[in-house]
Amino acid sequence: MSKHLEHSVAIITGASSGIGQATAKRLAASGARVVLVARRANRLEVLAEEIRDGGGAAKVIAADITRAAEASGVIAQTIAEFGRLDTLINAAGVMLNGPSIESPLSEWDQMVDVNLRGLMYVTKAALPHLLEAVASSPRQVVDVVNVSSVAGRFAAAQVAIYNATKFAVTAATEAWRQEFTKRNVRFSVIEPGATATELFEQKSGQWEGFTSIFGEVEQLHAEDIADAAHYIVCSPRRVAINEIVIRPTDQP
């Protein structure tokens, strides 16, 4: 595989499973030095060893990005280790859908904290270093890729707070794109449909709720979304992929 991202540094949040994990592998295979971020350190260590065994470079940072100090600490540790930051993949996410009357407020808070505040905290801390990296980047461009959802494009019953967080991610990404595009910081959003990750397993009944609306579908693989992230980041400087929507073929 060609090393389009050689000498670059990428942070991937939510790297302990699913889309984050698959994206870390994909970028590492293209030569990026990857910083793996999540709370589950043991899973990150396993992934880091796999990447290193394949000839890549990986650093593990166990952190709770819903805490602003830990999120900024991720960026500080990355700069201390590698001296730069070229790519940020915000893939951490949680989905806890269900009837609003029955859903605990703590679940709503958790979705806002992980899906929105965590992304916001990491992005805020990363921006100065991304801007600095542009000047010395062989590609003359840096990237922030936010993983949203098709739930950031349409609302559905029993999905109110997840919808709210993902609509916010999609909107914030577009606003940041407009703000930073002239400074060669590309902001992109990926909006996957049903994907075979741990997302549906985070609360019982979510898959049944999905299939009651859309029927049974052949779910996307995490690697399908990782391919999209890789395409975004590896595109030439002149090409900015603003938004990618990826649904299973069976999903209306």
Tally of CA atoms within 13 A in the half-sphere of 10 that contains its CB:
35
Distance CA 235, CA 30 (A): 13
Strands (E), 98-215: 142-147, 185-192
The neighbour count for residue 47, using CB atoms within 10 Å, is 24
Say which residues have a Cβ less than 8 Å from residue 23's Cβ, sequence separation at least 6.
12, 15, 89, 91, 225, 226, 229, 230
Where in the sequence numbering do the catalytic residues fall?
162
